[in-house]
Amino acid sequence: MNSLKMFLFLISTLLLCFGCKSSTQKDSMKTVMDPHSFSNPSITKVKHLDLDLKINFENKRIEGLASYTLEADHGSELILDNLGLIIQSIQIESGGSLTEAHYHIDTIDPVLGAGIHIELKSKTEKVRIQYMSGQNAYALQWLPKEQTRRKKYPFLFTQSQSIYARSWIPCPDGPGIRFTYHAKVSAPKDLMVVMSATNSMQRTSDGIYEFDMEIPIPAYLLALAVGDFDFKAIGNRTGVYAEPGLLDKAAAEFSDLENMLITAENLYGPYPWKRYDVIVLPASFSFGGMENPRITFLTPSVIAGDQSLTSLLAHELAHSWSGNLVTNASWNDFWLNEGFTTYFESRIMEALYGKPYADMLSSLGFQDLNKTMHEMGTENPLSKLKLNLQGMDPEEALTDIAYEKGKLLLRFLEERTGRAAFDQFLKNYFEYFKYKSNTSEGFLKFAVEHLIKQDTSLLDTVKKWIYEPGLISFTPAYDTLRFKNIDQSLVLFLKTMNPKSLHSDAWTTHEWIYFIRKLPSDKNIQRCLILNSTFKLSTARNSEIKCAWFEYAVKNNFGKQILPDIQNFLIQNGRRKYLMPIYTAMLDNALNKEAWIIFEMAKSGYHPISLNSVQKLLIEKI
């Protein structure tokens, strides 16, 4: 547990004590299957949430009323998750009559927060909770106007995955628990609001917005963004929200979005969520994208000007089936969300742009997997697909193993069973498990019945893939011709040091990344200088190329020469994918002092998730 997070939990303890008023604090035994949620739907299950939220930028709080409609056949208590919320009152409702509820809050767990136990009567129909988010709610980033594009208005956005929805809404915060919701949100009248639900395409005059999500979703897919942004349609069912000045660029970059949606449907069945829109968030967003239903939250770093990074859109769109439609029952089965999605992404890219292009992306992912496996060690239990994350924060334990090892397993099954049979299997899988949660065991059972059948050897291999660490010996049949051509050009360049020998004018982003990864790690500063001066790598518009180059440059003693560019990149980007490898390289290559200085300059612009990860890394490397 790092110092920042421990501090937040200590503050949360005081706030919870204040918020409980006459209720008592008690310890309770967790007996539910999900190791990351106190909620237990086998006792009482919620079916609908009504939210009434007020966005208070001045105090950096969400002031909320959460009203849960219960399943009729419920038990004697409702247990909800919370992380640092200030609980002001709880009432239960029967036949339209409200009474004060008896409740208690558990002692705080440093990872999970604390469960709220609310006593119910046999005829209780609803539970109403008046609350406020804590001052340091982990899911929320409150950006001052100075950190936005136009610098006129502040910005707020949420990141609920994995277990942080509980820091802005008291909720059953497990991926295996679904409910519908309606929300009314009051924001400053000059700002726009979107949620993971039906959304307005125009600003209201009074700052009040209403939302409906009639399909049951888990709490980690609850999402909210409030800021100075507008909407532009791309297709009949697709569009983009972005800050003024960026909107037209985003719409142009994402012009293939409607085609992606149609392609995905042709592969694995009808899109069930009506619309698919995206919102481009400020650069402080910790991730590439977050697959909130009906509105993906997206990093601006994907806007490269040439559509070269839009595979990220294909990935988030694929989550509409794998993750949002069929969800991992707990974070121990995270690969069911991400492995399926990463495989699906590659199929969308292949259908739209051809196999050679898609296979370049897949080959880079395969490289990432082998690098991660080398760093983790082949016996590391976190290299399994089926995880045991008891006592761990899932956000800190999940790596690209779930993404790339999970994808590799599905690619293996495709090559063993044939594409036609495997595609039919996936269609059947999404149809059978839609609006449900699944486990690795559920996947295996379904695979045996509909794909593997009597092939016991194949079943044994798949079980090893899921339950054992490391990798099965399998190299997918990717088209790597364009990468082989780079290998040949690289040999000539290393002999002559003449950058013209690379013939790189038509290289894609993925070829540049492959080239940088293949450069020798021999600390040849002259070579770094030639490449940087010729191709302007440290000032490239493409964030993926810059990240790969900065990591390589630092590892090869060229970091100090381009330190101002590295500093600007780390200050202007909050995406954890970029921050972690560059900070790690700096700390491992005698730039510790510089890393700390940059972090102190940049940290106010990082989302709490990125801030936590980078700070932990810096402390560990002292």
Active site (catalytic) residues = 316, 403
* Among 590, 573, 489, 569, CA closest to 531: 489
Q: Are 581 and 613 in contact (CB under 8 A)?
A: no
Q: Are 385 and 339 in contact (CB under 8 A)?
A: yes
d(CA 267, CA 420): 11
Q: Tell me the C-alpha to C-alpha distance, in Å, between residue 133 and each of 56, 90, 227, 341, 521.
A: 10, 15, 18, 32, 48
Token pair 């209201």 in the structure block, residue:
204
Give the angle subtended at the CA of 340 by the CAs of 335 and 344, to the nearest 5°. 155
Per-residue b or e along 554-572, where b marks 16 or more CB atoms closer than 10 Å to that residue's CB: bbbebbeebbebbeebbbe
d(CA 323, CA 340): 8
d(CA 34, CA 390): 9
Helices 608-620, 3-20: inter-axial angle, 10-degree rounding: 130
Query: Could you tell me the two tokens for 276?
Result: 């698919």
d(CA 590, CA 323): 41
> Residue 504: is the preceding peptide bond cis (ω within 30°)?
no
User: How would DSSP label each residue in 12-73?
Assistant: HHHHHHHHHTT-EEE-----SS-TT----TTT--EEEEEEEEEEETTTTEEEEEEEEEEPSS
Q: What is the CA radius of gyration of the chain?
A: 25
Q: Are 116 and 170 in contact (CB under 8 A)?
A: yes
Query: Could you tell me the two tokens for 229?
Result: 């942004």
**Sequence-distant (≥ 6) Cβ neighbours of residue 507 within 8 angstroms:** 486, 515
Token pair 């296979």 in the structure block, residue:
359
CB atoms within 10 A of CB 489: 17
Strand partners, 56: 61
d(CA 50, CA 183): 6
Query: E strand or H helix at 142, and its extent?
Result: strand 140-143
Q: Are 518 and 491 in contact (CB under 8 A)?
A: no
* Among 296, 183, 182, CA closest to 234: 296
Side by side, the strands of the sheet bearing 46-56 are 97-100, 86-94, 126-132, 61-70, 46-56, 179-186, 208-217
